[in-house]
Amino acid sequence: MVTGSSDCTVKIWDLLTVTPITTFKRHIKPITSIAISPCCRYVASGANDNLIYIWDVSNLKSSSTVEPLTKIQLHKQPITALEFLPAHLHKFWINKTPLLASASQDGSIRISNIISGQSVANFDGHTKMVTCLRWSGNQSIFDEGKEYFGPILYSSSRDTMIKIWSLPHKQMIKSVKAHAHWINGISLNTSYLMNCSAFFPSSNFTYTGSIDAYFQASEEIWNKQTKNIRSELLVSSSDDNTLVLWDFNNESKKIAQLLGHQQPVCGVSFSPDARYICSASFDSSLRLWCGTTGKYLHVFRGHVAAVYQLAWSSDSRLVVSCGKDSTIKTWDVQSKKLRKDLPGAADELYCIDWAINGQYIGSGGKDKIVRIWSR
- What pLDDT, in 10s, does the model give residues 27-79? 999 999 999 999 999 999 999 999 999 999 988 776 556 889 999 999 999 99
Q: Is 50 left (phi over 0), alpha (psi -120 to 50) or beta?
A: left
d(CA 103, CA 121): 12
d(CA 118, CA 140): 25
- What pLDDT, in 10s, does the model give residues 330-341? 999 999 999 999
| List of long-range contacts for 322-328, beta carbons under 8 Å, 24+ apart | 322/349, 322/350, 322/351, 322/352, 322/363, 322/365, 323/280, 323/284, 323/348, 323/349, 324/348, 325/284, 326/365, 327/303, 328/352, 328/361, 328/363, 328/371, 328/373
How would you label 207-237 residue by residue, b for 16+ Cβ within 10 Å and e otherwise?
Answer: eeeeeeebbebbbebbeebbeebeebbbbbb
Measured CA distances, 143 to 148, 167, 206, 250 (Å): 8, 15, 39, 8
Over the chain, what is the mean pLDDT? 93
Provide the pLDDT for residue 207.
Answer: 84
C-beta of residue 354 within 8 angstroms of C-beta of residue 313: yes
Helices (H), 108-171: none
Provide the pLDDT for residue 64.
Answer: 54
d(CA 51, CA 66): 17
d(CA 139, CA 146): 14
Helices (H), the chain: 191-196, 211-225
**368/60: higher pLDDT:** 368
Provide the pLDDT for residue 17.
Answer: 85
- What pLDDT, in 10s, does the model give residues 230-285? 899 999 999 999 999 999 887 678 999 999 999 999 999 999 999 999 999 999 99
C-beta of residue 278 within 8 angstroms of C-beta of residue 271: yes
Provide the pLDDT for residue 284.
Answer: 98
Provide the pLDDT for residue 262.
Answer: 97
pLDDT of 113 > 60? The answer is yes
81-102 average pLDDT score: 96
Q: How confident is the model at residue 139 (pLDDT cuts 50, 70, 90)?
A: confident
The maximal CA–CA distance of the chain, rounded, in angstroms, is 55
Which of helix, strand or coil describes residue 226? helix
Share of the chain above pLDDT 70, in %: 98
pLDDT of 159 > 80? The answer is yes
320-345 average pLDDT score: 94
d(CA 228, CA 222): 11
CB atoms closer than 10 angstroms to residue 315: 12
Whose CA is closest to 84, among 172, 184, 204, 2?
2
